[in-house]
Structure 1
Amino acid sequence: MDFQQGLISTIHDYGLGNLDLAEFRRQLKHCPTALLIPCLMEEFSRPALGLIREVLSELSGLHELVIALAADSSDDVAAAETFFRGMPFPVRVHWTNGPAVRELLESMRGLGLDVTGPAGKGWAVWQGLGVACREAEVIGLFDADIRTFSPAYPERMLRPLLDPSHGVAYVKAYYSRLSLETQALQGRATRLFVGPLLTALAQIFGPMPYLSYLQAFRYPLAGEFAFRRDLAMNLRIPCDWGLEIGLLSEVYRHVASSRIAQVDLGLFDHKHKALGNQPSEGLQKMAGEILGTVLRGLMEHEGRSLASEQIPTLEVLYRRVGEDHVRQFGLDAAINRLPYNRHSEELAVQSFATLLRPGVQGLMTTPVAHQLPSWSRLLSCTHGLQSDLVMAGARPTQSTPTLHQRPTLRHRGGSAPRPQPQPAAPISPVVQ
């Protein structure tokens, strides 16, 4: 569409379709690569996951596919394994909320670590990274509800990381969010909240590296990203709707901007969230938690926070910028002959604006958010946790030990030595 570059290296889609599956497979075989898909059991009844499976079935060089599954029973886990049977690479279905996983993670409280939840995408991503990072050098993440999934998605997102000469450690996707049924613009949380919010904050605080960094991403809330193993192992994982912004904050903390890229995946559609009738519902709940994550990032990276007397300025600026964006998106939609409901977009901006004051005040009361610790932190005190998590997340079978039968977790330091685990048997059923 264009060829402009900025703070973050941008990989455009020039519409030429220059994909090379054979070369991509060769690169995957040369660099062990895992894909991680956090997933609810309900996704197996929808067509999107079947499409994803069909596309991924061509990636014979993939090292492993990890399905971080929230399920109600071991029968559900078995059904998920059956769904992915016959893939040309190992598929590991990891039961994130299974009783053995909960028992294992509960045992971490003895080290002063709370890693028991809350349940959600962040918790699933954190567990999935622990599993995927055991052997993979590159890890890519996709959601399970992408209705437009195509071969270009994994190839374009992973290739910048597979060739070390590019010097890239983190890749974030961006795309055009359009409804497949109506062709209407989607992505309101990004278009009507995050974009205007960052612009308003930049006007209040002036130029700041962290704000410029966030604004450099064309779709900061994109849930599709990939990273090298050394980076993935050192990221704290947020547990709420601030996951994507929170991960960008973590990447900013660890990686120079020259080692970050964003890639255009073209047209994109997945499940759409309703605005919600109150701040605790739908997109309003999401926006409130994103607000806290953005402002917390300013504290952490810039040492700045909003004073109480600046809240009215933020409210006025956000509304003005949000209304300007509504007009701009309306023009964009009109020329592209897309349906556009300006009234509903204006109402969304008004609803988001009401979240600013209570969000800022709430942050002042509770400035520290719950984040799951990085895997490098965990392994510094209990270096067997990854293997134990893989065992716990496997579907229970007659030969799968329960936690009290497993070797005791290996802790570094402490007053008494811990018994060492025996060499691992097959650590979990892997679908071939």
Structure 2
Amino acid sequence: MEYVQERIATLHDFDGTAGEPAVPTTDVVAETTVVVPMAGREHGSPAAERVLSELETLDPAPAAVIVPVRADADRIGPFREWLESFALPTCVLWCNAPAVEDLLTSAGLANGFGKGRDVWLALGPAAAAGEYVVVHDADARSYEAAHVNRLLAPLSMGFAFSKGYYARIEDEQLYGRLFRLFYAPLIRALAADSDAPILDYLGAFRYALAGEFAATADLARQLRAPRAWGLEVGTLGDTFDYAGFEDSAQVDLGRHEHDHRAVDGETGLEGMSQTVAGELLRVVEERGVDLDYTTLQDRYRTVGNRLIDQYRADAAINGLTYEPAGERDQLARYADSIAPPGPDRRLPRWSDAPFEPADVLEAACLDSTQDSRPAVLDALGAGAQD
């Protein structure tokens, strides 16, 4: 039985089902806003369909389900109709709507976009609509509604933040490549030369790049979201400042099956590693870690190659297919991403934002005819128009 605790509270799945937690979460769910970011390609996808169908089974229903969507103008209508076909208190945020772009431009926040910006647009309204916020992706083909309850269970026990972790084993292979081959060895290389608490914190999460987390509304208002793929790392940096080791937890969500990305290209894992590296190194520099970039790539490769030997042994004893040469090739590609972070283009905390959550709803949501939108979101939007 695996029951090891990290420096943060680690809540296991001892019976192997990742089902409903024994801790009651009914009252918490009713006060929760669920945020499910989607890209245009997820319109009608089997994974997104499963996520929404599972959310329909939550009893009680969450206070709201906010879906920030990035889609072309000729596709947002059908996308919205599909989302509204589910029996959920849904609010669709069209993240690249012209009015949203105008709102961000007028506030000086129009420099760049991506998943992080889309989630940030939803976090303000989400924190205003409920006492708790759950964020998760829409690409898990194995998703279950119980994951919401499991993410919320630590919050019901007084923690401010919880993050999901899970096994990434599919088709008899190890996945989770960006975490295994980039994040984990980089954190270990940094921690070998520094005892800074932030490195212990970042290293305590068993799947730090997972998109699933839950937070109190107060914490959600403190998150400075990177605009693209560094969202998960940036979230952990701000959470360290707000919640620290004592008020952070991680919870086992079993085994997930995800859509996979290619390694090559700007939209592949190689491109993602550049954004993740920039945000990760910014997080640790801001919290006092002195980085020697002249040796860091070599130190990362040394640690990474050792981990690959360990992964190979782990795969072998479990009868999994494993290709060390391909993994070492990825390691070499990711090493080129390790460089001083570029300009800081994070979005502000919602507690310091230059506009209100209701302004986002007015720009991105209130042109909808959706009857199912939660009354609390209608009230927020009405406030922007008064």
1:126 aligns with 2:120: yes
Alpha-carbon distance in structure 2 between the residues aligned to 1:397 and 1:254: 36
Alpha-carbon distance in structure 1 between the residues aligned to 2:227 and 2:273: 14
State whether residues 362 and 384 of structure 2, in contact with CA within 8 Å, keep that contact through their aligned partners in structure 1. yes
1:305 aligns with 2:290: yes
Moved more, 116-125 or 261-270: 116-125
1:189 aligns with 2:178: yes
Counterpart of 1:144 (choices 133, 138, 157) is 138
Cα offsets for 1:81-126 (capped at 9, x unmatched): 4433341x41111111111222222222xxxxx3225221101110
Alpha-carbon distance in structure 1 between the residues aligned to 2:312 and 2:350: 45
Alpha-carbon distance in structure 1 between the residues aligned to 2:383 and 2:241: 37
1:40 aligns with 2:29: no
Residue 102 of structure 1 corresponds to 101
Cα offsets for 1:173-209 (capped at 9, x unmatched): 1111122xx2311111111111111111122x23221
1:171 aligns with 2:162: yes
State whether residues 25 and 60 of structure 1, in contact with CA within 8 Å, keep that contact through their aligned partners in structure 2. no
Counterpart of 1:257 (choices 245, 248, 264) is 245
Counterpart of 1:372 (choices 319, 334, 347) is 347
Alpha-carbon distance in structure 1 between the residues aligned to 2:129 and 2:4: 36
Distance 1:252 1:229, change over 3 A: same
Counterpart code for 1:272: H
Equivalent residues in 2 for 1:331-370, closer than 5 Å: 331-356=313-338, 359-360=339-340, 363=341, 366=342, 368-370=343-345
Alpha-carbon distance in structure 1 between the residues aligned to 2:176 and 2:211: 12
Alpha-carbon distance in structure 2 between the residues aligned to 1:371 and 1:83: 29
Distance 1:27 1:423, change over 3 A: closer
State whether residues 214 and 220 of structure 1, in contact with CA within 8 Å, keep that contact through their aligned partners in structure 2. yes
State whether residues 96 and 393 of structure 1, in contact with CA within 8 Å, keep that contact through their aligned partners in structure 2. yes
In the alignment of these two chains, the number of paired residues is 376
Q: Secondary structure at the match of 1:316?
A: helix
> Gaps (5+ residues) in structure 1?
109-113, 400-421
RMSD of aligned C-alpha atoms? 2.6
Alpha-carbon distance in structure 2 between the residues aligned to 1:370 and 1:145: 26
Distance 1:134 1:145, change over 3 A: same
State whether residues 66 and 91 of structure 1, in contact with CA within 8 Å, keep that contact through their aligned partners in structure 2. yes
Residue 68 of structure 2 corresponds to 68
1:241 aligns with 2:241: no
Cα distance, 1:160 vs structure 2: 1.7
1:392 aligns with 2:381: no
State whether residues 359 and 381 of structure 2, in contact with CA within 8 Å, keep that contact through their aligned partners in structure 1. no
TM-score with structure 1 setting the length: 0.81
TM-score with structure 2 setting the length: 0.90
Distance 1:77 1:330, change over 3 A: same
Higher RCO structure, 1 or 2 (CA under 8 Å, sep 6+): 2
Q: Secondary structure at the match of 1:258?
A: coil
State whether residues 196 and 322 of structure 1, in contact with CA within 8 Å, keep that contact through their aligned partners in structure 2. yes
Residue 92 of structure 1 corresponds to 91
Distance 1:244 1:251, change over 3 A: same
State whether residues 38 and 69 of structure 1, in contact with CA within 8 Å, keep that contact through their aligned partners in structure 2. yes
State whether residues 23 and 153 of structure 2, in contact with CA within 8 Å, keep that contact through their aligned partners in structure 1. no
Alpha-carbon distance in structure 1 between the residues aligned to 2:278 and 2:335: 14
> Gaps (5+ residues) in structure 2?
371-378
State whether residues 224 and 348 of structure 2, in contact with CA within 8 Å, keep that contact through their aligned partners in structure 1. yes
State whether residues 210 and 232 of structure 2, in contact with CA within 8 Å, keep that contact through their aligned partners in structure 1. yes
Alpha-carbon distance in structure 1 between the residues aligned to 2:255 and 2:152: 18
Q: Secondary structure at the match of 2:138?
A: coil
Residue 376 of structure 2 corresponds to none
Which of structures 1 and 2 has the bigger CA Rg? 1
Identity %, equivalent residues: 34
Counterpart code for 2:324: R
Alpha-carbon distance in structure 1 between the residues aligned to 2:232 and 2:331: 21
State whether residues 77 and 93 of structure 1, in contact with CA within 8 Å, keep that contact through their aligned partners in structure 2. no
Equivalent residues in 2 for 1:312-323, closer than 5 Å: 312=295, 314-323=296-305
Distance 1:26 1:213, change over 3 A: closer
Residue 282 of structure 2 corresponds to 296
